[in-house]
Amino acid sequence: MLSVPTKSKDHFEKTIGEIEVNNDTNWSRKHYKTIFLIYKNHPFFNNHKSFLEEMYLVKKWQKLMELNIFFYKYILKIIDKDIKIVMASDYNIQGQKSDLVLDMCLKLNASTYIFGGEGENYANKEAFKKNNINLIFQDYKHPIYTQKGNKKNFISHLSILDLMMNYDNNDIKSIILKNNLTI
């Protein structure tokens, strides 16, 4: 597991956009080296090597959100999805749990919201219905795919990096969506 160290002072009072990366250690070089050693001989490592180098060796991240967005944009490009990433902080979204999600949907003029499977336990379905917002509760089923060097036991729930290193970009999208919601 690779975790980006963050500055923990007052982190419970901060929004996700305010969380700062702790660059007192050389975490980014360690991350890159770990990924390199594990995946350097995988079929599609070289397809993503320059991206990984830029993310871990070139850019110096101050905020965790900046790193996340950089990674999300790359993944969206790989799966050929032109999806605009917006910041909740730009919309003054209010509320808790279901009310927060509803306020976000209203401010973004959403007609449909996809909850994870647990959303069904807390979503106020009537409030969404009253506001003409369709709800989808997705029960994501992790796909099983061939992993290089792992002929016997599939290791589930690894990062999307594992899929990227084992498959061409054209196959990644179909593998992710196999037996799952298509968007």
pLDDT tens by residue, 127-148: 999 999 999 998 888 888 989 8
Instruction: Answer whether residue 106 shows pLDDT above 90.
Output: yes
- Encode the chain in three state secondary structure: CCCCCECCCCHHHCCHHHCEECCCCCHHHHHHHHHHHHHCCCCCHHHHHHHHHHHHHHCCCCEHHHHHHHHHHHHHHHCCCCCCCCCHHHCCCCCCHHHHHHHHHHHCCCCEEEEEHHHHHCCCHHHHHHCCCEEEEECCCCCCCCECCECCCCCCCCCHHHHHHHCCHHHHHHHHHCCCCCC
Instruction: Answer whether residue 183 shows pLDDT above 80.
Output: no
Task: Extract the tokens encoding 29.
Answer: 């070089």
Tell me, yes or no, whether 74 and 22 share the same domain: yes
Instruction: Answer whether residue 119 shows pLDDT above 60.
Output: yes
- Residue 153 in domain: no
- Residue 119 in domain: yes
- Residue 163 in domain: no
CB contact at 8 A, 59 and 43: no
pLDDT range class, residue 110, cuts 50, 70, 90: very high
Q: What is d(CA 100, CA 105) in angstroms, rounded to the nearest whole number? A: 9
**Mean of pLDDT values over 37-42:** 96
- Residue 170 in domain: no
**Mean of pLDDT values over 87-116:** 93
Lowest model confidence (mean pLDDT) among 33-37, 144-148, 149-153: 149-153
Q: What is d(CA 65, CA 20) in angstroms, rounded to the nearest whole number? A: 8
Per-residue model confidence (pLDDT) at position 181? 64
List the one residue out of 36, 28, 31 whose CA is nearest residue 62: 28
Task: Extract the tokens encoding 82.
Answer: 């032109």
- Residue 143 in domain: no
**Mean of pLDDT values over 141-160:** 85
**Structural domains counted in the chain:** 2
- The burial of 40, by beta-carbon neighbours within 10 Å (0-12 exposed, 13-18 middle, 19 or more buried), is given as exposed
Q: What is d(CA 33, CA 38) in angstroms, rounded to the nearest whole number? A: 9
**Mean of pLDDT values over 40-69:** 97
**Mean of pLDDT values over 147-163:** 86
Q: Which domain holds residue 130?
A: 88-138
Per-residue model confidence (pLDDT) at position 148? 86
Tell me, yes or no, whether 42 and 70 share the same domain: yes
Tell me, yes or no, whether 58 and 111 share the same domain: no
Per-residue model confidence (pLDDT) at position 89? 85
- Residue 50 in domain: yes
**Mean of pLDDT values over 44-58:** 97
**Mean of pLDDT values over 113-123:** 90
Tell me, yes or no, whether 92 and 134 share the same domain: yes
CB contact at 8 A, 119 and 181: no
Tell me, yes or no, whether 62 and 92 share the same domain: no
